[in-house]
Amino acid sequence: GPLGSPNTLKEQREFLPAFAVREDLLRVIRDNQVVIVIGETGSGKTTQLTQFLYEDGYGKTGMIGCTQPRRVAAMSVAKRVAEEMEVKLGTLVGYAIRFEDCTSKETVIKYMTDGVLLRESLNEPDLDRYSCIIMDEAHERALNTDVLMGLFKKILQRRRDLKLIITSATMNSKRFSDFFGGAPEFTIPGRTFPVDILFHRSPVEDYVDQAVQQVLAIHVSKPAGDILVFMTGQEDIEVTCELIQERLAALNDPPKLSVLPIYSQMPADLQAKIFDRAPPGVRKCIVATNIAETSLTVDGIMYVVDCGYSKLKVYNPRMGMDTLQITPISQANAAQRAGRAGRTGPGQAYRLYTEKQFRDEMYMQTIPEIQRTNLSNTVLLLKSLGVKDLLDFDFMDPPPQDTITTSLYDLWALGALDNLGELTELGRKMNAFPMDPPLAKLLIMSEEYGCSEEMVTIVSMLSVPNVFYRPKERQEESDAAREKFFVPESDHLTYLHVYTQWKANGYSDAWCARHFLHSKSLRRAREVRDQLLDIMKMQHMRMVSCGTDWDIIRKCICSGYYHQAAKVKGIGEYINLRTSVTVQLHPTSALYGLGFLPDYVVYHELILTSKEYMSTVTAVDPHWLAELEPSAV
Ligand code: CDP
Ligand code: MG
């Protein structure tokens, strides 16, 4: 290839910085139980370490696990490693993410989300099936990574034969070493090129618009080299891609540009496209979330456009829930983003914020997730792992006391904990389901209410990306199609109705297309449903149907969402019974089909935009609420 760049997969492997230090690295791992591996993004940590360990024989005594904070990364990396090893994905190399297990008896190298490994530890506290575990992307400090790290402290004492490798981009590695009693740090020497950092001169009003302008300016005036744009999420990524295409088309005979989005909810086949090389003479422009910061490396990037924001899960104490908020990134994120431009040659990073904003408005490091999110899930899990007092648990950075208290309260109110804070039978059962406690409770209660057949469908539909397709240019048509499915008392029942109709129509893709439904989401819902059915069977739960008596389902829904109940206040406006926060009915809700607004509703979640919208809403009878929690009404 040009400049002697590698072509075959084998050559590409041998060209990676990790390959040059393979022997030294394996020696340090042989001599130590815990090793921290530090290396620039793209040095081969994620794809090579597992293979090195396999080649060194670690696969003979157990599996080699590698955890990822993001599901997309787990899937795409497993696919790549299977290709490099020339095996079929799911055989020797596999992956497991929530509701999707692509492994088999043969699997030795297993990529998975940290959540999956955490759940495995429930059934197998010492993780006996593994001989080594790589905790990848530890610098991200994702919630489940942090919890696993605390668990590992104990596991490693009990299992002297287990190797733990923690990998981190070049930040904050000392913290991990200290946490594990001074574990050695092994640095993979990097191969990076200088990157020019270009701050914006004045604050940017509209980062999407500015990013589009910047991309076009680079494209028409700068030498060859691909562009990577950092946006916050699916919505602004889609708009950015559209605008780039639109404005490019308005130019007179513009050079060719291939615009590719990447975000976590995107189907796997489309995601894989970002790794394909563009044909000669075509520049590639990838528009990504922070997934491209460290977890996925795309080669050939010379220009980075950084909007300066990312979507971050933050606990909103006023709402009593987590919300995804668009938040300024940290200085560490900014450095990572810029670094993506210097992998193949000198590059340029365009920051859509001023130097002053960078200095004054950005934290040095992102606050670990454990300190900014709801911990109900985690608390429930730790309780069933036998952790009595959460304050005694060995956290790298402890969560705020307030958050623990709120989570304990929520779990108690759901009936998962008793007055002494001990796990109840219900709580134990809830833990079998890999989902938020309220959804798990819905499933368990549905057996008692006599509607488990229906509830498992509803919960599956709530666990996949929205099934309704609403393209901009055909909004009215798609709205009309959606309204045909409306069950006026309930968006939950509307989902049930959609699924039932889809099933009655032979699970047909063509039928979906005609009715403005995403067939991918529905098929995913079906897969999730099958998985949930398996779990319910293992829990010896009975599958019962309520037939057409849908009030039973609404009652059951009420039982899982007591904390998200609201009372009408004005036109389309409600007030949360517990927090007294004003919330709006989302304009797409089926409840608008009723002709009047029900006095009491429960909702699945809040969407924060210009207003606080309840999404997926069901009308309930206040008596049901009163029965469940007398103080609520
Ligand atoms: O984990 P780290 O950032 O150190 O690197 P990696 O993810 O192991 O990536 C090593 C190389 O594999 C990079 O050059 C990637 O571009 C390449 N890779 C790829 O081509 N396709 C994938 N799905 C994953 C990695
Ligand atoms: Mg990696």
- C-alpha of residue 44 to centroid of ligand 1, in Å: 6
Output the residue whose Cα is nearest ligand 1's atom 22: 80
Residue with the smallest CA separation from ligand 1 atom 17 is 297
Contacts of 203 (CB under 8 A, 6+ apart): 353, 354, 357
Protein residue whose Cα sits closest to atom 13 of ligand 1:
42
* pLDDT, mean of residues 120-143: 94
Distance 107 CA to ligand 2 centre (A): 21
13 Cα to the center of ligand 2, angstroms: 14
Closest Cα to atom 24 of ligand 1:
77
436: alpha, beta or left, given left = phi > 0 and alpha = psi -120 to 50?
beta
How far is the centre of ligand 2, averaged over its atoms, from the C-alpha of 564 (Å)?
38
Q: Minimum mean pLDDT among 165-174, 332-341, 362-371: which range?
A: 165-174
pLDDT exceeds cutoff 70 at 509:
yes
Residue pLDDT, tens place only, 252-263: 899 999 999 998
Q: Is the pLDDT of residue 314 over 90?
A: no
- Tell which atom from ligand 1 comes closest to the C-alpha of 18: 4
**For a pocket test of ligand 1, which of 47, 52, 134, 298 has the largest count of ligand atoms closer than 8 A to its C-beta?**
47
296 CA distance to ligand 2 middle (Å)? 7
Ligand 1 atom with minimal separation from the 48 CA: 8
Q: State whether residue 353 is helix, strand or coil.
A: coil
Cα–Cα distances (Å) from 619 to 122, 139, 343, 549, in that order, read 37, 44, 55, 15
pLDDT exceeds cutoff 50 at 632: no
Q: Which of 16, 37, 297 to mutate to test the pocket of ligand 1 (most atoms within 8 A of CB)?
A: 297
Q: Please, which residues have CB less than 5 A from ligand 2, an ion?
A: 45-46
Dump pLDDT digits (tens) for 82-120. 999 999 999 999 999 999 999 999 999 999 999 999 999
60-74, 444-458, 462-476: least confident range: 462-476
pTM of the model: 0.89
Q: How far apart are CA 533 and CA 516, in angstroms?
A: 27
CA of 90 to the centre of ligand 1 (A): 19
The mean predicted confidence, pLDDT, of the chain is: 92
Q: How far apart are CA 425 and CA 423, in angstroms?
A: 7
Q: Helix 550-560 crosses helix 437-449 at what angle (to 10 degrees)?
A: 140
Q: What confidence category does residue 5 fall into, taking pLDDT thresholds of 50, 70 and 90? A: low
Check pLDDT > 90 for residue 77: yes
Q: Whose CA is nearest to atom 7 of ligand 1?
A: 46
Q: Pick the residue with more confidence: 337 or 296?
A: 337
Tokens 């996925």 locate to 296
For residue 135, give the ligand nearest its CA.
2
pLDDT for the residue numbered 317: 67
Dist CA 605 CA 27 (whole Å): 50
Q: How many Å lie between the centroid of ligand 2 and the Cα of residue 138? A: 10
Question: Best substitution site from 21, 51, 80 to test ligand 1's pocket, by max atoms within 8 Å of Cβ?
Answer: 80
DSSP label of 323: E
Q: Which atom of ligand 1 is nearest to the CA of 79?
A: 23
Measured on CA atoms in the order 107, 127, 144, 384, is the torsion positive or negative?
positive
What count of Cα atoms within 13 Å lies in the side-chain half-sphere of residue 615?
11
Instruction: Determine the distance separating the centroid of ligand 2 and the alpha carbon of 315, expressed in angstroms.
Output: 28
Q: Looking at residues 416-436, what average pLDDT do you find? A: 93
pLDDT tens figures, 171-204: 678 899 999 999 999 999 987 899 999 999 999 9
pLDDT at position 355, please?
Answer: 97
Q: Quickly state the pLDDT bin for 4 (edges 50, 70, 90).
A: low
The tokens for 196 are 């020019």
Looking at 170-179, 415-424, 434-443, 476-485, which range is the least confident one? 170-179
Confidence category of residue 2, pLDDT binned at 50, 70, 90: very low
Separation of CA 43 and ligand 2 centre (Å): 8
pLDDT digits over 531-555, tens only?
Answer: 999 999 999 999 999 999 999 999 9
Q: What does the pLDDT read at residue 105? A: 97
pLDDT reported for residue 74: 94
Q: How many angstroms is it from 288 CA to the middle of ligand 2?
A: 16
Each residue's pLDDT tens digit, 549-579: 999 999 999 988 878 899 999 888 999 998 8
Q: How does DSSP classify residue 224?
A: S
Query: What is the rounded CA–CA span in Å between residue 3 and residue 299?
Result: 14
Residue-level pLDDT at 166: 97
The share of the chain scoring above pLDDT 90, in percent, equals 74
- pLDDT over 50 at 1, yes or no: no
The answer, yes or no, to whether residue 625 has pLDDT greater than 90, is no
- Percent of the residues in the chain that have a pLDDT greater than 70, as a whole number: 97
Nearest CA owner, ligand 1 atom 10: 44
Pocket of ligand 1 (CB under 6 A): 16, 39, 41-48, 76-77, 80, 275, 297, 299
Residue 633 binned pLDDT confidence (cut-offs 50, 70, 90):
very low
Rounded to 5 degrees, φ, ψ at 546 are -95, 5
Q: Whose CA is nearest to atom 14 of ligand 1?
A: 42
pLDDT of res. 389 = 83
Q: What is the CA radius of gyration of the chain?
A: 25
Task: Please give the single-letter amino acid code of residue 498.
Answer: V
How many angstroms separate the alpha carbon of residue 16 from the centre of ligand 1?
A: 9
Average pLDDT value for residue range 423-436: 93
